[in-house]
Structure 1
Amino acid sequence: MWADAAALDAAARRVDDWEAAFADRARRTRSLTSRIQALTGTARSPDRMVEATVDSSGQLVALRLDERTRQHSATHTSEQIVATARAERFHVSELRDGQPYPTTRHEVDAFEDRAYAHEERWWTDHPVRPERAL
Protein backbone atom coordinates (compact mmCIF):
# COMPACT_ATOMS: atom_id res chain seq x y z
CA MET A 1 0.00 0.00 0.00
CA TRP A 2 2.81 2.46 0.81
CA ALA A 3 5.37 3.08 -1.91
CA ASP A 4 8.22 3.54 0.52
CA ALA A 5 9.10 4.10 4.15
CA ALA A 6 9.12 7.90 3.68
CA ALA A 7 5.48 7.88 2.59
CA LEU A 8 4.57 5.69 5.55
CA ASP A 9 6.43 8.04 7.93
CA ALA A 10 4.67 11.07 6.42
CA ALA A 11 1.28 9.41 6.86
CA ALA A 12 2.12 8.52 10.47
CA ARG A 13 3.15 12.14 11.14
CA ARG A 14 -0.15 13.40 9.69
CA VAL A 15 -2.08 11.01 11.92
CA ASP A 16 -0.03 12.15 14.94
CA ASP A 17 -0.69 15.80 14.03
CA TRP A 18 -4.44 15.11 13.73
CA GLU A 19 -4.43 13.30 17.06
CA ALA A 20 -2.60 16.21 18.72
CA ALA A 21 -5.02 18.72 17.17
CA PHE A 22 -8.04 16.72 18.39
CA ALA A 23 -6.54 16.43 21.88
CA ASP A 24 -5.92 20.20 21.92
CA ARG A 25 -9.49 20.91 20.80
CA ALA A 26 -10.84 18.58 23.49
CA ARG A 27 -8.73 20.36 26.13
CA ARG A 28 -9.91 23.79 24.96
CA THR A 29 -13.52 22.58 24.87
CA ARG A 30 -13.28 21.31 28.47
CA SER A 31 -11.72 24.60 29.54
CA LEU A 32 -14.39 26.65 27.80
CA THR A 33 -17.15 24.46 29.21
CA SER A 34 -15.89 24.93 32.76
CA ARG A 35 -15.58 28.71 32.24
CA ILE A 36 -19.13 28.87 30.88
CA GLN A 37 -20.47 26.80 33.77
CA ALA A 38 -18.73 29.14 36.23
CA LEU A 39 -20.25 32.21 34.55
CA THR A 40 -22.47 34.32 36.78
CA GLY A 41 -23.94 37.74 36.37
CA THR A 42 -25.31 40.30 38.80
CA ALA A 43 -27.84 43.00 37.99
CA ARG A 44 -29.35 45.78 40.04
CA SER A 45 -32.79 47.24 39.74
CA PRO A 46 -32.94 50.85 38.54
CA ASP A 47 -33.65 52.04 42.09
CA ARG A 48 -30.77 49.85 43.36
CA MET A 49 -32.98 48.17 45.96
CA VAL A 50 -32.71 44.70 44.39
CA GLU A 51 -29.53 42.90 43.38
CA ALA A 52 -29.93 39.51 41.68
CA THR A 53 -27.17 37.08 40.70
CA VAL A 54 -27.83 34.28 38.22
CA ASP A 55 -25.63 31.40 37.10
CA SER A 56 -24.89 30.29 33.54
CA SER A 57 -28.15 28.36 33.32
CA GLY A 58 -30.15 31.40 34.41
CA GLN A 59 -30.93 30.14 37.91
CA LEU A 60 -31.10 32.72 40.66
CA VAL A 61 -28.16 31.97 42.98
CA ALA A 62 -28.08 35.10 45.14
CA LEU A 63 -30.47 37.88 46.03
CA ARG A 64 -29.78 41.02 48.00
CA LEU A 65 -32.55 43.36 49.09
CA ASP A 66 -31.85 46.84 50.35
CA GLU A 67 -33.51 47.83 53.62
CA ARG A 68 -35.61 50.33 51.67
CA THR A 69 -37.63 47.43 50.22
CA ARG A 70 -39.51 47.36 53.54
CA GLN A 71 -41.12 50.65 52.54
CA HIS A 72 -42.72 49.03 49.48
CA SER A 73 -45.42 46.45 49.02
CA ALA A 74 -44.52 42.80 48.59
CA THR A 75 -45.97 42.98 45.07
CA HIS A 76 -43.68 45.86 44.11
CA THR A 77 -40.65 44.11 45.57
CA SER A 78 -41.47 40.81 43.87
CA GLU A 79 -41.91 42.61 40.53
CA GLN A 80 -38.49 44.22 40.98
CA ILE A 81 -36.92 40.85 41.82
CA VAL A 82 -38.47 39.15 38.78
CA ALA A 83 -37.56 41.98 36.41
CA THR A 84 -33.98 42.26 37.69
CA ALA A 85 -33.34 38.51 37.59
CA ARG A 86 -34.93 38.24 34.13
CA ALA A 87 -32.74 41.04 32.77
CA GLU A 88 -29.60 39.37 34.11
CA ARG A 89 -30.70 35.96 32.78
CA PHE A 90 -30.89 37.54 29.35
CA HIS A 91 -27.47 39.17 29.75
CA VAL A 92 -25.84 35.91 30.91
CA SER A 93 -27.47 34.01 28.03
CA GLU A 94 -26.00 36.58 25.63
CA LEU A 95 -22.54 36.08 27.13
CA ARG A 96 -22.93 32.29 27.16
CA ASP A 97 -23.95 32.34 23.49
CA GLY A 98 -20.92 34.42 22.58
CA GLN A 99 -22.66 37.71 21.86
CA PRO A 100 -20.18 40.57 22.28
CA TYR A 101 -20.84 43.21 24.89
CA PRO A 102 -22.37 46.15 23.00
CA THR A 103 -20.03 49.10 22.61
CA THR A 104 -21.18 50.92 19.48
CA ARG A 105 -24.59 52.49 18.91
CA HIS A 106 -25.39 49.80 16.33
CA GLU A 107 -24.47 47.01 18.79
CA VAL A 108 -26.49 48.65 21.57
CA ASP A 109 -29.52 48.90 19.27
CA ALA A 110 -29.17 45.23 18.28
CA PHE A 111 -28.80 44.24 21.95
CA GLU A 112 -31.93 46.18 22.89
CA ASP A 113 -33.87 44.58 20.04
CA ARG A 114 -32.88 41.12 21.30
CA ALA A 115 -33.69 42.09 24.90
CA TYR A 116 -37.16 43.38 24.00
CA ALA A 117 -37.86 40.27 21.92
CA HIS A 118 -36.70 38.12 24.84
CA GLU A 119 -39.02 39.96 27.23
CA GLU A 120 -41.97 39.63 24.85
CA ARG A 121 -41.35 35.87 24.57
CA TRP A 122 -41.10 35.62 28.36
CA TRP A 123 -44.48 37.26 28.90
CA THR A 124 -45.99 35.10 26.17
CA ASP A 125 -44.73 32.00 28.01
CA HIS A 126 -45.80 33.37 31.43
CA PRO A 127 -49.17 35.05 30.80
CA VAL A 128 -50.09 35.52 34.47
CA ARG A 129 -48.43 38.70 35.61
CA PRO A 130 -47.39 38.81 39.29
CA GLU A 131 -49.40 41.95 40.03
CA ARG A 132 -52.57 40.28 38.75
CA ALA A 133 -52.06 37.00 40.59
CA LEU A 134 -52.99 38.46 43.98
Structure 2
Amino acid sequence: MTEDALKRIEGGLAIILPAEYRNFMLARGAGLREFNKACGRRLAEALDLTANDVLITNCTERKPGSGTADAYPKWWQTFVLIGTDGGGGYYCLHLDGTPGVWTIGSDDDGEAEKLHGSLSDFVEDQVKRCQEPPNV
Protein backbone atom coordinates (compact mmCIF):
# COMPACT_ATOMS: atom_id res chain seq x y z
CA MET A 1 0.00 0.00 0.00
CA THR A 2 1.18 3.51 -0.69
CA GLU A 3 1.22 6.52 1.59
CA ASP A 4 -1.59 8.02 -0.53
CA ALA A 5 -3.70 4.87 -0.06
CA LEU A 6 -3.17 4.98 3.71
CA LYS A 7 -4.14 8.66 3.80
CA ARG A 8 -7.26 7.80 1.80
CA ILE A 9 -8.25 5.23 4.42
CA GLU A 10 -7.63 7.72 7.23
CA GLY A 11 -9.64 10.45 5.49
CA GLY A 12 -12.47 8.12 4.51
CA LEU A 13 -12.83 6.72 8.02
CA ALA A 14 -11.85 9.88 9.94
CA ILE A 15 -9.18 7.98 11.91
CA ILE A 16 -5.43 7.83 12.33
CA LEU A 17 -4.19 4.37 11.44
CA PRO A 18 -2.03 2.60 14.03
CA ALA A 19 1.69 2.97 13.30
CA GLU A 20 2.08 -0.82 13.25
CA TYR A 21 -0.39 -1.09 10.35
CA ARG A 22 0.97 1.91 8.47
CA ASN A 23 4.59 0.71 8.66
CA PHE A 24 3.74 -2.89 7.86
CA MET A 25 1.59 -2.08 4.83
CA LEU A 26 4.15 0.37 3.44
CA ALA A 27 6.88 -2.25 3.77
CA ARG A 28 4.99 -5.40 2.77
CA GLY A 29 1.65 -4.47 1.19
CA ALA A 30 2.80 -4.74 -2.44
CA GLY A 31 4.57 -8.05 -1.81
CA LEU A 32 1.50 -9.45 -0.10
CA ARG A 33 -0.68 -8.52 -3.08
CA GLU A 34 1.73 -10.40 -5.38
CA PHE A 35 1.79 -13.39 -3.02
CA ASN A 36 -2.00 -13.27 -2.90
CA LYS A 37 -2.23 -13.61 -6.68
CA ALA A 38 -0.09 -16.74 -6.48
CA CYS A 39 -2.23 -18.37 -3.79
CA GLY A 40 -5.56 -17.72 -5.51
CA ARG A 41 -6.83 -14.82 -3.38
CA ARG A 42 -6.96 -16.93 -0.21
CA LEU A 43 -4.89 -14.36 1.72
CA ALA A 44 -7.26 -11.54 0.75
CA GLU A 45 -10.10 -13.38 2.46
CA ALA A 46 -8.34 -12.68 5.78
CA LEU A 47 -6.53 -9.40 5.10
CA ASP A 48 -7.81 -6.45 3.11
CA LEU A 49 -4.90 -5.55 0.82
CA THR A 50 -6.20 -2.39 -0.84
CA ALA A 51 -7.50 0.93 0.43
CA ASN A 52 -10.83 0.26 -1.30
CA ASP A 53 -11.25 -3.06 0.51
CA VAL A 54 -10.45 -1.52 3.90
CA LEU A 55 -12.88 1.34 3.28
CA ILE A 56 -15.68 -0.92 2.05
CA THR A 57 -15.35 -3.36 4.97
CA ASN A 58 -15.25 -0.63 7.61
CA CYS A 59 -18.04 1.50 6.11
CA THR A 60 -20.33 -1.49 5.61
CA GLU A 61 -19.94 -2.68 9.19
CA ARG A 62 -20.54 0.82 10.60
CA LYS A 63 -24.06 0.92 9.18
CA PRO A 64 -26.96 0.62 11.63
CA GLY A 65 -28.29 -2.91 11.62
CA SER A 66 -24.99 -4.56 10.70
CA GLY A 67 -24.18 -7.48 12.97
CA THR A 68 -20.90 -5.95 14.07
CA ALA A 69 -22.49 -2.62 15.01
CA ASP A 70 -25.17 -4.47 16.98
CA ALA A 71 -22.66 -6.61 18.92
CA TYR A 72 -20.08 -3.82 19.36
CA PRO A 73 -21.81 -0.42 19.44
CA LYS A 74 -19.45 2.28 18.15
CA TRP A 75 -16.64 -0.25 17.61
CA TRP A 76 -15.12 2.19 15.08
CA GLN A 77 -14.06 4.45 17.93
CA THR A 78 -11.77 1.67 19.19
CA PHE A 79 -10.85 -0.49 16.19
CA VAL A 80 -10.13 -0.47 12.48
CA LEU A 81 -11.15 -3.62 10.60
CA ILE A 82 -8.36 -5.10 8.49
CA GLY A 83 -9.99 -8.28 7.21
CA THR A 84 -12.55 -11.00 7.80
CA ASP A 85 -12.65 -14.63 8.87
CA GLY A 86 -15.41 -15.23 6.32
CA GLY A 87 -17.94 -16.24 8.97
CA GLY A 88 -19.14 -12.95 10.45
CA GLY A 89 -15.96 -12.13 12.37
CA TYR A 90 -13.53 -9.33 11.60
CA TYR A 91 -9.82 -8.99 12.26
CA CYS A 92 -8.97 -5.59 13.65
CA LEU A 93 -6.36 -3.39 15.25
CA HIS A 94 -6.74 -1.02 18.19
CA LEU A 95 -6.70 2.60 17.05
CA ASP A 96 -4.77 3.57 20.20
CA GLY A 97 -1.82 1.45 19.03
CA THR A 98 -2.27 -1.37 21.55
CA PRO A 99 -0.27 -4.17 19.89
CA GLY A 100 -1.96 -7.20 18.46
CA VAL A 101 -4.64 -8.36 16.09
CA TRP A 102 -8.09 -8.82 17.61
CA THR A 103 -11.34 -10.31 16.39
CA ILE A 104 -14.83 -8.92 16.77
CA GLY A 105 -18.02 -10.08 15.13
CA SER A 106 -21.74 -10.42 15.13
CA ASP A 107 -21.81 -13.91 16.61
CA ASP A 108 -19.72 -13.47 19.75
CA ASP A 109 -20.30 -12.15 23.25
CA GLY A 110 -19.29 -8.53 22.62
CA GLU A 111 -15.76 -8.98 23.97
CA ALA A 112 -12.87 -8.56 21.54
CA GLU A 113 -10.51 -11.53 21.46
CA LYS A 114 -6.77 -11.08 20.94
CA LEU A 115 -5.55 -13.55 18.31
CA HIS A 116 -1.94 -12.51 17.73
CA GLY A 117 0.60 -10.33 19.49
CA SER A 118 1.42 -8.37 16.34
CA LEU A 119 0.22 -7.71 12.82
CA SER A 120 3.37 -9.39 11.52
CA ASP A 121 2.59 -12.60 13.44
CA PHE A 122 -0.99 -12.54 12.14
CA VAL A 123 0.12 -12.13 8.52
CA GLU A 124 2.74 -14.86 8.80
CA ASP A 125 0.07 -17.21 10.15
CA GLN A 126 -2.23 -16.30 7.26
CA VAL A 127 0.58 -16.82 4.72
CA LYS A 128 1.24 -20.31 6.13
CA ARG A 129 -2.46 -21.13 5.88
CA CYS A 130 -2.51 -19.86 2.31
CA GLN A 131 0.31 -22.23 1.42
CA GLU A 132 -1.53 -25.26 2.81
CA PRO A 133 -3.66 -27.24 0.38
CA PRO A 134 -7.37 -26.40 0.67
CA ASN A 135 -9.56 -28.89 2.54
CA VAL A 136 -11.48 -31.09 0.15
- Does the TM-score normalized on the shorter chain lie above 0.5? no
Higher Cα radius of gyration = 1
Q: Which has the higher helix share?
A: 1
What's the TM-score once normalised by structure 2's chain length? 0.23
